[in-house]
Amino acid sequence: MALSRQDIAVPGNPAHPARQSALSRKSARSPGRSSSRGQALAGLVLLAPCLLLVVVFFIIPLAMMIWMSFHEWPLLGEVSFSGLRNYGELWADKRFWRSVWFTMKYATILTVLIFLLAFPLALLVQRQRPGVTVMRAVFFLPVSIGMATAATLWVLIINPDVGVAGPLFQSLGLADGPVQFLRSANSALWTVIVMVVWKSVGFSMILLMTGLQNVPSDIYEAARIDGAGRFRIFRSMTLPLMRKTTALALILCVSGAMQAFDQFFFITQGGPRNQTVTAVYSIYVTSFSSYRLGYGAAMSVVLLAILVLLGIVQYVALRNKET
């Protein structure tokens, strides 16, 4: 029996079953691809304002700061390229490195005290019970106050003439007369530390409380069934499971302390005898009192490198072993 041309299955012919199957698969995949591209485009559109802010307020100023560090850049006058001269001078600048050492000392003491207080507070307020919402609000309230405002308030509290701290010390028998909180470097440092702990401990408390609430309760129940005590559970289970949260809180606390400026500017003004000058305070004085913007930019680059190094060390030390 003779076959017509239409009855012969030609691979190139659209009527071929294999061809139709391929076309159907291609048409089935096309909507998915266009949908994913549309989602990616929508994501980029939504991220554009945030990316613009990062570029304008971080990337461009960072690049400008690095460029300025290689120049002699007076506040008024001609700008000239100086190469690595600023960094060479900075290497031998004892005042700057003394301020860095003081800042690291301040950051170490402050971080230890904040964590010693934040962990018990987080354990206290992690579970819902009567009055816990009020406690959380009271502990977190100082965080909402600006650092400059809190420092100004503290100056009034420790004022030897009108402040309430001096009479309180006298009534408790801790002092015989007016208390000069800023007379020595140590007393001035501890005065600032007490204020910053009061101001900042609530933020670390909230971070640690969130980490505690994310630990599954089944693990605690299993540990209690096995006879583990509270301290053993906290040391062997809670702390390891909160490693990421603790790392985040620690990095934020240390980096914030290393950038301390407002509290010392308003309370001690670098005194007594320039013994409470932090690294950022030193950069401020160099840039806007000595009018050496290029040298101040070099100091900022070095401080940024120290912060990045500290952040990496903390992350490596506290990261999970499986990550």
Judge whether residue 179 has pLDDT over 90.
no
The rounded distance, in Å, linking the Cα atoms of 305 and 41 is 35
pLDDT for position 276 = 94
Q: Does residue 5 carry a pLDDT above 70?
A: no
Average pLDDT, the chain: 85
> In terms of pTM, does the model score above 0.85?
no
Predicted confidence at residue 211, as pLDDT, reads 87
What's the angle, vertex CA 52, arms to CA 50 and CA 53, rounded to 5?
Answer: 65
For the cut 80, the answer to whether the pLDDT of residue 262 exceeds it is yes
pLDDT attached to residue 24 = 52
Check pLDDT > 90 for residue 194: yes
- Residue 152 clears pLDDT 50, i.e. is over it: yes
Amino acid 209: pLDDT: 92
What is the percent of the chain where pLDDT is above 70? 88
Buried b or exposed e, range 30-53, using 16+ CB within 10 angstroms: eeeeeeeeeeeeeeeeeeeeeeee
Is the peptide bond preceding residue 272 cis, with omega within 30 degrees of 0? yes
Q: What is the pLDDT of residue 41?
A: 84
Measured from the Cβ of residue 111, the count of other Cβ atoms closer than 10 Å reads 17
The amino acid occupying position 30 is S
Predicted confidence at residue 38, as pLDDT, reads 78
**Best mean pLDDT range from 6-10, 144-148, 162-166:** 144-148
Give me the CATH topology for the region 80-318. Answer: MetI-like fold (1.10.3720)
Residue 10: per-residue pLDDT:
46
Please, are residues 242 and 209 in contact by the beta-carbon 8 Å criterion?
no
pLDDT of residue 237: 82
pLDDT digits (tens, 9 = 90+) for 105-131: 999 999 999 999 999 999 899 888 888
pLDDT at 12: 47
| Residues whose CB is less than 8 angstroms from the CB of residue 256 and which lie 6 or more positions away in sequence, other chains included | 200
Altogether, the residues listed in the chain come to a count of 323
- The mean pLDDT value for 272-285 works out to 94
The predicted structure's pLDDT at residue 17: 52
How many Å apart are CA 73 and CA 81, to the nearest integer? Answer: 9
pLDDT value, residue 9: 47
CA 170 to chain centre: 39
Q: Where are the domains of the chain?
A: 80-318
Q: Which bin fits 270, alpha (ψ -120 to 50), beta or left (φ > 0)?
A: left
Cα 52 to Cα 46, 117, 162, 229, 311: the distances in Å are 11, 39, 48, 52, 25
What pLDDT sits at residue 233?
78
* pLDDT at residue 271 is higher than 90: no
Question: HSE-up of 87 (CA within 13 Å, CB side)?
Answer: 12
Classify residue 192 by its DSSP letter: H
Query: Is it the case that residue 303 has pLDDT exceeding 50?
Result: yes
The confidence score (pLDDT) of residue 147 equals: 93
- Check pLDDT > 60 for residue 14: no
